[in-house]
Structure 1
């Protein structure tokens, strides 16, 4: 630490944006669990002309410098869809990285608060980078394991930097680890799954790759309806859906994606993906042709060891019919029968308010191993 003055200023050009992205390497240079972001993808995600968030949102990026050296970064943003579905008084921060220094962190929060206040907001909420279907929350439990794809990761001291500025907890999101346990029997679990489905006159099928384009829009609409009453939900736009699911389509294996049908109607579904972070970590931010081919091979061909259940849901018309049990049982059975090298499947992010899902995951051997926390403060 030097006596040089601390300066926080907006990102103004491509060089600043690259510095904003690459500052993470400074924070995590000694962290063996960190997974570097793919620089080309993050650059596009943050680009106001390309990023899907900018269809309905606005953002500013800030760098903190001391003596010309970058010592922190943050984004401030407002979300038109959030305002439409929730309130028009909340602004957000995200992409927070900072040295272990309260002065620096507080200056960054001050800058983000001033920016959203100028937009008419009276509350600062986060971290969200950018919405609840991107990277969510501050990691406050689970520092001993690497993040799965689309999960945040940060040093433990960030919690002090956040709370010392006056932020208070708003909401927690949980990650569960489902792994093989003594006594797990695929035939017994499959029998339980099939019994649930018979009682509801439903069937479960994989979502074949050539069926994904047809079923995808149905899944998006069903997801938006299912989650409409959950905390902070903002309906996925077509562009966001494409960015998440259509991008994943070539990389996932059909047996990992399943839907429960009542007649021809999808009434429940799960989308499980190989944990791409296991490959991405090796790329150190690069994502050229070689890295793309390596990722394709790792996800489609290499024996699976880690997966993430990105999204699961049951239609409102079929809730309380134990179909969420059938979905979870189907995931476990598939791993036991078809992927013997699987170490665990991450199921996340599960809102703390979804007691039914949290209980069921615990009932079937799930272990809550990470907690991601959102905060807010009046400004």
Structure 2
């Protein structure tokens, strides 16, 4: 019997793009931890006419088929903003899903490498789907717990598929969980928080929904400035900021978002969201009116059990003044006082190079429970 033929071809139609999306169900059909993506949102995200990435980037999608059956997928993309802030040599891959076959994986990486090489690139980097503030990295540690919102999730064998093609580690990102252990004293932590704020003549306040339109642009500019020196940072565009933060606003409880003010200037902030994956998992990719109402109820009304601290930051002018301690203490105090059913809060993604934040999270009982790795290879 002749060997089954493997063919990798570009996605050419919206119907094939749906095949690209739905292949994930084949990979994870026996994985109880996997959270299916919301198909309508994924369609828009991948659509060159609608997705925010395509304001500054280009992408091509590929499917691997063996005797007509889909056995893998990958995207290849180039990012104009990355080139503006970093280098012109790097192209990217993402949305990688594959059967447990080096042959299939290597054929997909070859296709992605050929495409970015055709755009003048000499290095392939990833996985990024699409940018550093979307889904980042390959999960290499922490396979025993479900992915939090905006986390990647993959089978353990993916690491072999990636490294066997010649990729080498570039950078790690960490996820921590802060759980609520016996003996935590909300009053004591509130005093510690207030003492830090008093020394710096600052105040901490929730970000009310009615204030978000006013404060949102300040937060975006502060975020872009704070993260400008971090590995791989690309400033968020207005569209990306709206998609990530403003879209979350109807779902996020005001007490979960806070800002530290020095006068009227925001000098630190945190955005914490209910972990939507706990609800989204039940939808199995659907996102109609019923699912939207269910998600709204779960996030706004239902007692919280799991959250994700999506972003925390302190202005460069106020770093080394322990305001990052005040932010973390404020999150913990709020959970202890107002959300007694909270199991843990995920704090991620933290770059491996941010030693100050990594140490502080550990000081407050944070447990590093997932590691996401980025790779690159000269092509």
| Map of 2:273 onto structure 1 | 273
User: Is 2:101 the counterpart of 1:86?
Assistant: no
| Map of 1:319 onto structure 2 | 319
| Map of 2:167 onto structure 1 | 167
Describe the superposition over 1:211-254 as per-residue Cα deviations: whole angstroms up to 9, x where unpaired.
11110110000000000000000000000000001110000000
CA distance in 2, matches of 1:79, 1:372: 21
CA distance in 2, matches of 1:292, 1:214: 26
TM-score (norm 2): 0.99
1:227-242 aligned at under 5 Å gives the runs 227-242=227-242
Q: Secondary structure at the match of 1:95?
A: strand
CA distance in 2, matches of 1:2, 1:111: 24
| Map of 1:363 onto structure 2 | 363
Q: Per-residue deviation at 1:182?
A: 2.4
Q: Secondary structure at the match of 1:139?
A: strand
Q: Per-residue deviation at 1:4?
A: 1.5
CA RMSD of aligned residues (A): 0.8
Q: Secondary structure at the match of 2:234?
A: coil
Describe the superposition over 1:309-336 as per-residue Cα deviations: whole angstroms up to 9, x where unpaired.
0000000000000000000000000000
1:112-123 aligned at under 5 Å gives the runs 112-123=112-123
1:243-254 aligned at under 5 Å gives the runs 243-254=243-254
CA distance in 2, matches of 1:10, 1:130: 17
Q: Secondary structure at the match of 2:132?
A: coil
Q: Secondary structure at the match of 2:145?
A: coil
| Map of 2:109 onto structure 1 | 109
1:273-312 aligned at under 5 Å gives the runs 273-312=273-312
CA distance in 2, matches of 1:138, 1:30: 19
Describe the superposition over 1:154-210 as per-residue Cα deviations: whole angstroms up to 9, x where unpaired.
000000000000000000000000011222100000100000000000000000011
| Map of 1:74 onto structure 2 | 74
CA distance in 1, matches of 2:308, 2:3: 45
CA distance in 2, matches of 1:6, 1:171: 32
| Map of 1:10 onto structure 2 | 10
| Map of 2:50 onto structure 1 | 50
CA distance in 2, matches of 1:164, 1:233: 28
User: Is 2:328 the counterpart of 1:328?
Assistant: yes
How many residues matched? 379
| Map of 2:154 onto structure 1 | 154
CA distance in 1, matches of 2:137, 2:212: 30
| Map of 2:197 onto structure 1 | 197
Following TM superposition, where does structure 1 have runs of at least 4 consecutive aligned residues deviating by more than 2 angstroms?
none
Q: Secondary structure at the match of 2:152?
A: coil
CA distance in 1, matches of 2:131, 2:184: 37
Q: Which shows bigger deviation, 227-236 or 176-185?
A: 176-185
TM-score (norm 1): 0.99
Q: Per-residue deviation at 1:2?
A: 8.2
CA distance in 1, matches of 2:113, 2:27: 23
User: Is 2:233 the counterpart of 1:213?
Assistant: no
Q: Per-residue deviation at 1:3?
A: 2.0
CA distance in 2, matches of 1:172, 1:183: 33
CA distance in 2, matches of 1:322, 1:221: 21
User: Is 2:98 the counterpart of 1:98?
Assistant: yes
CA distance in 2, matches of 1:119, 1:25: 31
**Compared with structure 1, are the counterparts of its residues 25 and 226 closer, same or farther at alpha carbon in structure 2 (3 Å cutoff)?**
same
